[in-house]
Amino acid sequence: MTDEKAIILSTTSDIPGRRITKTIGVVSGEAVVGVGGLKGMSRAVKDVIGARSPLHEDQVRTAREAAVSRMRSEAENRGADGVVGVVVSYQSLGGGELLLVAVEGTAVTLGEAM
């Protein structure tokens, strides 16, 4: 996606101050990241006792950002100005070795600010 057109995202069914003029349809983006076996046993021990795992957090954040970017690109390619009802979901795959991050919402066109 280019930065020329910013796709507005909202987790709600509307975008405050804007009027939805057309519903285009569902758009989504997915990203899979490997999270198993990172940095050996010491990391696993820290996770069990409740310490944060910055490496895991960074990987999850990167995957979420990639999934959102893919959804934005799909929305832009379909002529949308925004995406409403955005939901992010996470699912463990491959026996916990992989994490799927999926983002979806409804692409819409928007009228002038109210």
- What pLDDT, in 10s, does the model give residues 24-57? 999 999 999 887 655 444 455 555 556 677 777 8
The answer to whether the CB of 45 falls within 8 A of the CB of 111 is no
**Alpha carbon of 75 to those of 24, 25, 26, 68: distances in Å?**
9, 9, 9, 10
Domain tally for the chain? 1
Work out the burial of residue 60: count CB atoms within 10 Å of its CB; fewer than 13 is exposed, 13-18 middle, 19 or more buried.
middle
3-class DSSP state of 17: coil
Rounded distance between C-alpha atoms, residue 2 and residue 82, angstroms: 15
Q: Is residue 84 part of a domain?
A: yes
Phi, psi (deg, nearest 5) at residue 15: -125, 110
Q: What is the pLDDT, as a whole number, of residue 67?
A: 97
Q: Is residue 98 part of a domain?
A: yes
Q: What is the pLDDT, as a whole number, of residue 37?
A: 58
| CATH for 72 | 3.30.110.70
Q: What is the pLDDT, as a whole number, of residue 2?
A: 45
Phi/psi-derived region of residue 35, left when phi > 0, alpha when psi is between -120 and 50, beta in every other case: alpha
- What pLDDT, in 10s, does the model give residues 59-110? 889 999 999 999 999 999 999 999 999 999 999 898 888 899 999 999 999 9
The residue segments making up the domain with residue 13 are: 8-113
